[in-house]
């Protein structure tokens, strides 16, 4: 019913990234398609970004916060294990006592959230559901690491899902491949940090916590070739399954909004799906980078801003990432 976005004000270009890694603007553009990425300043939180995107989506849907019956936030970067980011957002937008919870499905999280929202509305559990994909990935990267750090950006995208006389969301195709669980992962759990702090307190010596050789804060890493091959060869099949589940073909689409992981992955999926020329492809990655759970709603938001004539048409969206997990569905654009 409505799409909203929040893009942080700080823009980091490739030349700035190359201060930290041995690379170049040309290499990054060639290999990923990224020119810039947005980064949130220290005083802007996951909840702040999610709330900003949520307010725009609700307004565009012609609703108020009081109309929202459930809030689903897809994120892997909310810094609190509990309580959820969704509960804080519910309070900020005036949706209390809406049901509120977070889900952790990395770059597929938004598609998982849309699938759940679809089920909530169909079952009558909630009339209007707010789905938010939000990440502050700058909190979990090592700027000097070059497998993934230069790809990542911050931001939030949101959608309001509500009742319709005809289906506006197709059956979703969801899945996982845990055999590749560590292909995109944190460098470790939080437990070693807890143990190191406890030991430092017991010994009265905090020097080891300041040792630059000891990396206590977990950050993201990826096995790039493994992820690239999996995404290129398997995700086009998943996207096709979503089209089949919707009972439509590529010819019926007006837009394609894949997870913004890498421009080469996006272009290869377009080829494998044999998308016709009239299908507008979301390539938000050039200016936003990879924003994980936020990337699909941000891409859809930009598609509609730049091509308002797509409104009401069918869009195929697919997310895939750490887990490895994936999700896809066809939606009718608001």
DSSP 181-192: TTSEEESS-SHH
Residue 244 has pLDDT above 60, yes or no: yes
- Distance between CA 12 and CA 85 in Å, rounded? 26
- Which residues is 167 bridged to in the sheet? none
Whether the predicted pLDDT of 217 surpasses 60: yes
Round to the nearest angstrom and report the end-to-end CA distance of the chain: 5
Structure confidence at residue 213 (pLDDT)? 56
Average pLDDT over residues 107-126: 98
Residue 297 has what pLDDT?
98
List the catalytic residues: 107, 259, 290
Q: Residue 195: pLDDT band by 50, 70, 90 thresholds?
A: confident
Q: Give the separation between CA 317 and CA 329, rounded to whole angstroms.
A: 6
Q: Is residue 156 within 8 Å of residue 96, measured between CB atoms?
A: no
Burial of 207 (0-12, 13-18, 19+ CB in 10 A): exposed
Cα 203-204-206 angle, rounded to 5 deg: 100
For 29-48, the pLDDT digits (tens) are 999 999 999 999 999 999 99
Q: Which residues of 5-26 are buried (b: 16+ CB within 10 A; e: fewer)?
A: bbbbeeebebeebeeebeeeee
Instruction: Give the orientation angle of helix 85-92 with respect to helix 46-60, to 10 degrees.
Output: 50
In this prediction, residue 204 carries a pLDDT of: 74
d(CA 182, CA 81): 21
- What is the predicted pLDDT for the residue at 198? 83
Q: Whole-prediction pTM value?
A: 0.94
Q: What is the secondary structure of 228-294 as a DSSP string?
A: HHHHHHHHHHHHHHHHHHHT--GGGEEEEEE--S-HHHHHHHHHHHT--TTSEEP-THHHH-B-GGG
pLDDT, position 214: 59
| CA–CA separation, 300 and 185 (whole Å) | 26
pLDDT for 203 equals: 79
In the structure encoding, which two tokens stand for residue 97, read together?
């006592």
Cβ pair 128, 63 in contact under 8 A: yes
The pLDDT confidence band at residue 212, using thresholds 50, 70 and 90, is low
Mean pLDDT in the chain?
94
For the chain, helix (H) and strand (E) counts, in that order, are 10, 14
Position 206 confidence tier, pLDDT thresholds 50, 70, 90: low
φ, ψ (nearest 5 deg) of residue 114: -65, -40
- 66-75, 208-217, 293-302: least confidently modelled range: 208-217
Instruction: Give me the mean pLDDT over the 249-277 stretch.
Output: 96
| Residue 25 pLDDT | 94
Does the pLDDT value for residue 53 go beyond 80? yes
CA separation for the pair 153, 155 (Å, rounded): 7
Q: What pLDDT is stored for residue 207 in this prediction?
A: 66
Question: Does the pLDDT at position 186 exceed 80?
Answer: yes
Contact 253, 286 (CB under 8 A): no
The pLDDT, as a whole number, for residue 196 is 81
CA distance 112 to 115: 5
The average pLDDT across 147-168 equals 96
Q: How many CB atoms lie within 10 A of CB 213?
A: 5
Count CA within 13 A, CB hemisphere, residue 266.
27
- Is the pLDDT at 210 greater than 90, yes or no? no
pLDDT at position 238 is 97
């Amino acid at each position: 019913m409505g799409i909203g976005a929040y893009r942080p004000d700080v823009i980091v270009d490739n030349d700035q990234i190359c201060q930290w890694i041995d690379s170049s603007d040309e290499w990054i553009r060639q290999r990923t398609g990224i020119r810039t990425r947005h980064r949130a300043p220290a005083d802007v939180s996951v909840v702040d970004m999610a709330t900003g995107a949520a307010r725009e989506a609700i307004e565009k849907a012609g609703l108020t916060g009081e109309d929202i019956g459930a809030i689903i936030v897809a994120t892997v970067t909310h810094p609190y294990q509990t309580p959820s980011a969704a509960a804080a957002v519910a309070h900020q937008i005036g949706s209390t006592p809406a049901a509120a919870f977070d889900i952790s499905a990395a770059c597929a999280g938004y598609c998982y959230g849309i699938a759940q929202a679809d089920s909530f509305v169909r079952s009558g559990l909630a009339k209007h559901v707010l789905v938010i994909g939000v990440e502050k990935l700058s909190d979990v990267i090592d700027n000097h690491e070059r497998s993934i750090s230069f790809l990542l950006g911050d931001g939030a995208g949101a959608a309001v899902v509500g009742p319709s006389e005809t289906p506006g969301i197709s059956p979703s195709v969801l899945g996982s491949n845990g055999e590749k669980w560590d292909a995109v992962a944190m460098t470790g759990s939080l437990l070693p940090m807890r143990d190191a702090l406890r030991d430092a307190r017991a010994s009265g010596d905090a020097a080891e916590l300041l040792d630059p050789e000891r990396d206590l804060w977990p950050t993201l890493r990826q096995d790039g070739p493994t992820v690239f091959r999996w995404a290129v060869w398997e995700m086009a099949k998943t996207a096709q399954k979503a089209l089949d589940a919707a009972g439509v073909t590529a010819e019926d689409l007006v837009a394609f909004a894949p997870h913004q992981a890498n421009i080469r992955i996006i272009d290869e999926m377009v080829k494998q799906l044999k998308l016709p020329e009239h299908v507008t492809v979301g390539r938000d990655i050039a200016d936003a980078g990879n924003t994980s759970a936020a990337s699909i709603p941000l891409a859809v938001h930009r598609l509609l801003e730049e091509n308002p004539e797509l409104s009401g048409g069918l869009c195929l969206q697919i997310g895939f990432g750490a887990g490895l997990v994936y999700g896809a569905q066809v939606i009718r654009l608001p």
